[in-house]
Structure 1
Amino acid sequence: MAKSDRLFRLLHLIRGLSPPVTAARLAAAMEVSERTLYRDVEALRAAGARIEGAAGLGYTMTEDPALPPQTFTQLELEALVLGLSEVEARGDTALAGAASDALVKITATLNERQQRQTVQAITLVHRFAQPPMPAVDMTLLREASWAEEVLEITYRDNHGAETQRRIYPLALAYLDHVVMLLGWCCLRQDFRQFKVTSILTARRCGESFRPRRVALLRDFVDRLRAGRQPDG
C-alpha cells in the first residue's frame, strides 16, 4: 500500500474508532508494526492533523483539516444524500431542518465535481403518507437525553389509561411506522419504550442520572436483541 493511501486510511480509523484508540489497535487494523504506526501519526501531525495523545495513552482526533473532501467516494455521497433525505422526510421540523442544513454544509466543502454528484444523486426519498407528528416537543426529549436528565411525562398507554411517569431518557428509536423513546421507568423500575405520539406532556426535572445512561442503554439494547420486548 502506498504511503499516501496508508495515511488516509489511518485518518479514517482514528476518526471512526472510539477514542482514545491505542497504537496497538491501529497497527493491527493497518497491518503494520507499531513503529511504523508511530511514524505515520507523526507524518499526519506534520501535515496539519490535530491528533492528541501519545504512545501508551491512545490517540484522539480533535480536528482533521488534513482530511481533504475528495476522500468521499461517489457511493458514500449517495449514502449521505439518502440518509439525510430520509431524516428530512421522517423527522420532526427541527430534525428535518438540521438534516437539510447538514447536507448544504457538507456539499459546500466538496470540490466542483463532487458537488455535482451530490446535487444529481440518483437515490431519492419520497413518502406518500407522512407519519403522525407527536404533540410533545421532540427537541425537549433530545436535549434531556443528551444532558442525561430525568423527565416527567404524562403517558397514554395502549389501553387508553393515562399515567404520570418519571423516566431516564436513553435514546430515540425510529422504527418502521413509529418513533419510540427508550428509557428506564422509575414507576415500573424497569426498561420501557414509549411511543412519542402517546406522550401527552413532558418536563425536564433538572435531576441528572449521569453517568448511568451508557450502561443502561447497553443493557436495554442487549434485552431487545434477545427478543425481550419491554411494555410501554
Structure 2
Amino acid sequence: MARADRLLRLIQAMRVLPPPLTAARLAEETGVSERSLYRDIDALRAAGARIEGERGYGYRLIEDRSLPPQTFSRIEIEALVLGLAEVRHMGDPALAEAAGAVLAKVAATLPEGDERHLLHAVSQVRRFEARFPPSLDMQAIRNGCWNETAVAIRYADKDGTSTERTIWPLSIVYLDEKMTVLAWCCLRRAFRMFRADRIGEALETEASFRPRRVPLLRAYLAELRNR
C-alpha cells in the first residue's frame, strides 16, 4: 500500500474509531507494524493534524487539518445527527457504515464545543428492528445508478413468478414500509418500480446507458406525478 493511501486510512480510522486508540489497534486497522505506525503518526502531526497521546497511552485525533473547518448551529447539529442516525437504522449495511464515517469526519472538523454537542446530541433514533430488512445487497443497484450501467436482476412478482430482466436503474427510493428501485425495464420497454425485497439477485453489467439516467428519471417522476 502506498504511504499516502496508508496515511489516509490511518486518519480515517482515527476519525471513526472511539478514542483513545492504542498503537496496536491502529496498526491492526492499517495493516502495518507498530514501528511504522509511530512514523505515520509523526507524519500526520507534521502535516498539521492535532493528535494527542503517546506511545503506551493511546492516541486521539483532536483536529484534522486535512478537512476544512465547519460551522453549524446547535439545531443544524441536531438535524445532522438525527438524519445520519436514521440512515444507520435503515438496514443497508453499506449506507450504515457510510453514515458513521460521515459523522466522524464532521466531528473531526468541528470546534471542541460543537464536537461535544454532536457527540451528545439531544435528538436520538432508536429502532428495535431495521427499517428495511437487508434482503438484497444494494451495491450493484447503486453502482448501476452511479455508473449508468445496466443491471441484470431476477425478479419475483406479487404471485411469486420469477423473471430474468435487464434494467437501467434510475433511483433507489425509501418509502414508508418498503425500498423500491425506479428503473427503465428493457424487457417491458417501459418505466417500472421494482420492490427491493422481490429482487432475488442483482448483477451489474458493462452495458452503458449514459448519459440518459437524469433525463429518464425526470420523465419517470413526471409520469408518476401525472398518474
Residue identity (%): 44
Residue matched to 2:179 = 179
Tell me if 1:109 matches 2:106.
Answer: no
Any conservation in 2 of the 1:154–1:162 contact (CA below 8 Å)? yes
Q: 1:159 to 1:66 in 2, by over 3 A?
A: closer
Provide Cα deviations, 1:55-99, integer angstroms capped at 9, x if missing partner: xxxxxxxxxx997422x1111111110110000001411110110
Q: Alignment length, in residue pairs?
A: 162
* 1:118 has 2:143 as partner: no
- What is the CA distance between 1:158 and its match in structure 2? 1.0
Instruction: Give unpaired runs (5+ residues) of structure 2.
Output: 1-65
TM-score for both structures, normalised by structure 2: 0.67
**CA separation of 1:69/1:165 partners in 2, compared to 1, >3 Å: closer, same or farther?**
same
Relative to the length of structure 1, the TM-score reads 0.66
The verdict on how the C-alpha distance between 1:78 and 1:132 changes in structure 2, with shifts beyond 3 A counting, is closer
Any conservation in 2 of the 1:88–1:97 contact (CA below 8 Å)? yes
1:200-228 C-alpha deviation (Å, 9 max, x unpaired): 011122000001100000111122223x3
**1:189, CA displacement in angstroms?**
1.1
1:134–1:198 CA contact under 8 A, matched in 2 = no
Give the distance between the partners of 1:66 and 1:190, measured in 2 at CA. Answer: 44
Q: Tell whether the 8 Å contact from 1:155 to 1:163 is kept in structure 2 after alignment.
A: yes
1:107-186 superposed matches below 5 A: 107-186=107-186
2:70 corresponds in structure 1 to 69
Aligned residues of 2:67 and 2:109 also touching (Cα < 8 A): no
**Structure 2 CA distance for partners of 1:87 and 1:124, relative to 1, 3 Å:** same
The SS at the match of 1:69 is: coil
1:205 and 2:201 aligned: no
Which residue of structure 1 lines up, in the alignment, with residue 192 of structure 2? 192
Offset of residue 132 of structure 1: 4.9
**How far 1:105 sits from its partner (Å)?**
0.7
- The separation in 1 between residues aligned to 2:86 and 2:67, in whole angstroms, is 30
Change (3 A) 1:119 1:224: same
Write the mapping of 1:14-29 to structure 2, written as runs, cut at 5 A.
Answer: none
For 2:219 and 2:154, the matched residues in 1 are separated by 25
Q: Following the alignment from structure 2 to structure 1, what is the Cα–Cα distance between the partners of residues 134 and 110?
A: 36
Counterpart of 1:225? 225
